[in-house]
């Protein structure tokens, strides 16, 4: 069975509409409710799996930052903020961490060297950095 990360996607299937039509025409609620509950269960299982994978990823990356040469407290603090804000810019980091631009840039450099952050805009100025491995986990199953 193909699974989807969102209940609405699970329900956007011919089987759902066939069962819903059977409710309308025949009052066949049992099959429709069973299908709906299967969808909720499937999505809940997938959400729990994704949450575990995200937790493991952040823990693994935290260990890498703490063990890295030339790492800093600012780099570690930045990593802790990335799950809530996986796309950042240097000015945003300056505000979030209440630090200077050179210190923020150094922290980004540490995380870039470790492959945790990646520059995503392809520009020389006004760069945007993404916690791509985290975002990739969130995207799994959402492709249309």
Number of domains in the chain: 1
Q: Which two tokens stand for residue 113?
A: 């060297």
Report the share of the chain in percent with pLDDT over 90: 67
Band (pLDDT 50/70/90 cuts) for residue 44 is confident
pLDDT tens profile 119-144: 998 877 889 999 999 999 998 866 65
Burial 75-110 (b: 16+ CB within 10 A, else e): bbbbbeebeeebebebeebbeebebeeebbebbbeb
Query: Does some domain include residue 1?
Result: no
Q: Would residue 77 count as lying in a domain?
A: yes
**Residue span of the structural domain in which 74 resides:** 7-139
Edge-to-edge strands of the sheet including 118-119? Answer: 87-88, 129-130, 118-119
User: Which tops the pLDDT comparison, 8 or 38?
Assistant: 38
Query: 109: domain CATH number?
Result: 1.10.10.10
40 lies in a domain? yes
The answer to whether residue 2 sits within a structural domain is no
pLDDT of residue 123: 77
Dist CA 16 CA 50 (whole Å) = 25
């Amino acid at each position: 069975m193909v699974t989807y990360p969102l209940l609405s996607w699970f329900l956007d299937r011919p089987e759902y509409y066939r069962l819903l039509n059977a409710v309308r025409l025949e009052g066949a609620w049992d099959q429709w409710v069973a299908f709906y509950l299967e969808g909720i269960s499937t999505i809940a299982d997938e959400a729990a799996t994704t949450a575990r994978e995200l937790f493991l990823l952040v823990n693994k990356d935290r260990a890498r930052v703490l063990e890295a040469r030339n790492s800093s407290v600012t780099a570690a603090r930045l990593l802790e903020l990335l799950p809530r804000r996986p796309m950042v810019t240097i000015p945003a980091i300056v505000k979030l961490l209440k630090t200077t631009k050179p210190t923020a840039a150094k922290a980004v450099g540490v995380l870039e060297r470790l492959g945790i952050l990646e520059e995503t805009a392809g520009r020389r100025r006004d760069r945007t950095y993404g916690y791509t491995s985290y975002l990739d986990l969130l995207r799994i199953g959402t492709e249309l």
